[in-house]
Amino acid sequence: MSQVTAKQTPFLLKPRVKQTLFLSLLSVFAAIWILPLIWMFSLAFSSNEALQLNTNSLTPIDPTVSNLVGVIQGGLTPRWMLNSVIVTGFTTLFTLVLSAMAGYAFARIPFRGKKIIYPLVLAGLMVPREAMFIPLFLMFAEADYHNTYEALMLPRIAAPLGVFIMTQFMAAIPMEIEEASRVDGASRWRTFWSVMMPMSVPAMTALGIFTYILTWNDFLWPLVSATQREMFTITTGLASLQGNFAQATELGSLMARGVVASLPLLILFFIFQKQLVRGISIGSGGK
Amino acid sequence: MIKSMRRHWLSIALISPSLILLGVFVYGFIGLNINISLTDEVGLNNNDANFIGFENYIKLLDDPRFHIDIFNTIVFSLTFIGVTLALGLGLAILIDSKIPAEGFFRSVYLLPMAVSFIVTGVVWRWLMNPATGERTSGLNLLFDVMGLDFLINQWHLTPTWGMLGIAVPAIWQMSGYTMALFLAGLRGIPEEVKEAARMDGATEFGIYRRVIMPMLKPVALSAVVILAHISLKVFDLIIAIAGKQIALDVPAIYMWQTTFDAYNFARGATLATYILISVALFVIPYLIVTNRKEKV
């Protein structure tokens, strides 16, 4: 099907020429896209002294791992990392469980008021969280509850995106599968737990990785809520250091922090990218 | 009868945790926020705030700083959404044309999505270093070496149009995501539809224009809403690139400074409501359009 005649291709290109042209265009863009990350890694492995003279190399200058070691051992970075892992891990877990439950109910159980409630969930999807921040901040301040993990997690768990993705996915699971299990005498709860949940693993993986990335990279709420340095997440911690590096004196260390902050996500990305693409597709209302 | 009770009991049990969280943390707090915006609440633990109606809203409309914010947001949004859409669609079409190593290209373009705006900002701050002369570095140096001197610029320090510099890393970060959206859309178009158009003698270009583009409209619409959602509240990227004592003001930064530096909660809440309204302008028409087609 790809073999179209020259007459039908745009600009009268032969398929081979067209493919070469497309490939080279894609490669140019790929190079541009990967460049900033390569540069970050290269600077992270360069010595700070060498970087004062030249910061423009795409390979490490005077290669060293001391920046990385410094980040992992020194300062509060390990603590921030731990905070991020705790907050992100629990947020993802709660989001998955709650979204799967609600998704099943919306997709499969008829109940009164669904036609009104579901659009409200969808609308919640698009509410910018800035619109909730000030009362949230004041409430947590009044309860003296800032600088806790709960404060960092709670506002995040109200996750309409998760409900939406799970509803879309579960609605697409063939009715017959569920009916077969009900005919066998399983209760609805059992059907949900041992039939629908296992079948939803692909969607839950997609939602999980999505939630993990978004929560890990969250900035504004942690910035507002966690004011003690010990409670910073890796994102706010990194931002707090950026200001201290007004000049390029410790550029290598700064980039090393960038590497440390993004490495866990980059690894996850490479493991789960199929699921991530799928999540993007479900989330946009596709299949 | 008992059976239907049980059924309802289960649906309530399954849905209520999400609904309570949503009701409290989204809708409840929006309400509280609007409440605060209608008062003159300033300072922590202030219990004698007075109701002053829409005064904060009217005052902001006359505030020159807010005018700059709106201008900057429009410049950023138009550039960011426009270029990201074009790049995302272009890359998706290139990748969809049965190219080898498709998976590799897709990963590379998507990769920046896994990086936070803060890390993006840290890296791009140095790539877009506005320093001149001896200390020229990053992209400006690259342009210099390549003889493209006319491209050398001040990036985020450019007077008036500094937001264009901020849009560059944002485009870098979100184009891959947009590409994935379009790619899913392209893959969803049945081959028979294209085949039929080919049989009717349409050129490849004609097929794209007349058949594929119209079918991609819903995807494009989702993409615009998602990107607008990001651009209308852009914050982290500016903080990471330009710092917060800056000429590059947007509503989210104004809100943040006025609330958490000056403790002017009422004005901050008013700004938050304006951000909410601007997002709603995109979202409500979108929800109406999608809800019409979709049945729960």
Which single residue is written with the structure tokens 């590059």? B248
A143 and A23 belong to one structural domain = no
Could you tell me the pLDDT band of residue B5, with boundaries at 50, 70 and 90?
Answer: low
What pLDDT shows up at residue B169?
93
Query: Angle of helix A251-283 relative to helix A201-216, nearest 10 degrees?
Result: 150
A40 and A158 belong to one structural domain = no
Tell me, yes or no, if B116 comes closer than 8 A to chain A by beta carbon. Answer: yes
Instruction: Please tell me the distance from the alpha carbon of residue B255 to that of residue B39, in angstroms, as a whole number.
Output: 16
Best CA proximity match to A231, nearest among A244, A222, A219, A242:
A222
A93 and A228 belong to one structural domain = yes
Domain's final residue, options A66, A94, A112: A66
Contact B143, B199 (CB under 8 A): no
Q: Positive or negative, the Cα torsion across A45, A49, A50, A54?
A: positive
Query: Angle of helix A77-108 relative to helix A251-283, nearest 10 degrees?
Result: 0
Q: What is the mean pLDDT of residues B132-148?
A: 77
Give the CATH superfamily of B59-295: MetI-like (1.10.3720.10)
Contact call for A131 and B275, based on CB within 8 A: yes
- CB contacts of B29 in chain A (<8 Å) are 131-132, 135-136
A83 and A48 belong to one structural domain = no
- For B212-228, the three-class secondary structure string (H helix, E strand, C coil) is HHHHHHHHHHHHHHHHH
A54 and A101 belong to one structural domain = no
Q: How many domains does chain A contain in total?
A: 2
Tell me the C-alpha to C-alpha distance, in Å, between residue B219 and each of A81, A210, B183: 36, 19, 10
Please, what is the average pLDDT of chain B?
Answer: 86
Query: Angle of helix B29-37 relative to helix B265-293, nearest 10 degrees?
Result: 140
Tell me, yes or no, if B272 comes closer than 8 A to chain A by beta carbon. Answer: yes
Q: What is the mean pLDDT of residues B130-154?
A: 78
Instruction: Burial-class residue B242 by CB neighbours within 10 Å (0-12, 13-18, 19+).
Output: buried
Tell me, yes or no, if A19 comes closer than 8 A to chain B by beta carbon. Answer: yes
Mind telling me how many Å the CA of B26 is from chain A's nearest CA? 7
- CB contacts of B280 in chain A (<8 Å) are 126
Domain range list for chain B: 1-37, 59-295
Q: pLDDT tens per residue, chain A (287 residues)?
A: 444 444 444 455 677 888 889 999 999 999 999 999 998 999 899 888 777 777 777 788 888 888 888 888 777 888 999 999 999 999 999 999 999 999 999 998 888 788 888 888 888 877 888 899 899 999 998 888 899 999 999 888 877 888 988 988 888 888 888 888 888 888 888 888 888 888 898 889 888 988 898 899 888 889 989 989 999 999 888 888 765 544 456 788 888 888 988 888 999 999 988 888 887 877 665 43
A143 and A164 belong to one structural domain = yes
A90 and A125 belong to one structural domain = yes
Q: Which CATH number goes with the domain that contains A171?
A: 1.10.3720.10
Q: Which residues in chain B (4-23) have CB-CB distances under 8 A to chain A?
A: 7-8, 10-15, 17-19, 21-22
The H-or-E segment that residue B199 falls in is: helix B191-199
Residue A90 tokens, joined: 């629990």
Tell whether the model's pLDDT for residue B168 goes beyond 60. yes
Of A19, A111, A217, the CB nearest to B8: A111
Contacts of B212-216 spanning 24+ positions with Cβ under 8 A: B212/B186, B215/B185, B215/B189, B216/B89, B216/B182, B216/B185, B216/B186
Which residues does B237 contact at the CB level (< 8 Å), separation at least 6?
B117, B120, B121, B166, B169, B170
Tell me, yes or no, if B106 comes closer than 8 A to chain A by beta carbon. Answer: yes
Tell me, yes or no, if B189 comes closer than 8 A to chain A by beta carbon. Answer: no
Q: What confidence tens digit (pLDDT) does each residue in B169-200 have?
A: 999 999 999 999 999 889 888 888 888 888 88
A83 and A62 belong to one structural domain = no
What pLDDT shows up at residue A5?
46
Contact call for A284 and B110, based on CB within 8 A: no
What pLDDT shows up at residue A243?
59
Contact call for B276 and A268, based on CB within 8 A: no
Tell me, yes or no, if B108 comes closer than 8 A to chain A by beta carbon. Answer: yes
Contact call for B233 and A127, based on CB within 8 A: no
Q: Is the ipTM of this complex over 0.90?
A: no
A113 and A249 belong to one structural domain = yes
Q: What is the model's pTM?
A: 0.88
Mind telling me how many Å the CA of B94 is from chain A's nearest CA? 6
Q: What confidence tens digit (pLDDT) does each residue in B42-70 have?
A: 887 666 788 999 999 999 999 999 999 99
Tell me the C-alpha to C-alpha distance, in Å, between residue A68 and each of A52, A83, B25, B162: 18, 19, 39, 33
Q: What angle do CA A49, A53, A55 make, to 5 degrees?
A: 95
Mind telling me how many Å the CA of A124 is from chain B's nearest CA? 7
What pLDDT shows up at residue A57?
76
A193 and A271 belong to one structural domain = yes
Q: Give the range of the structural domain holding residue A57, as residue numbers without chain letter.
A: 2-66
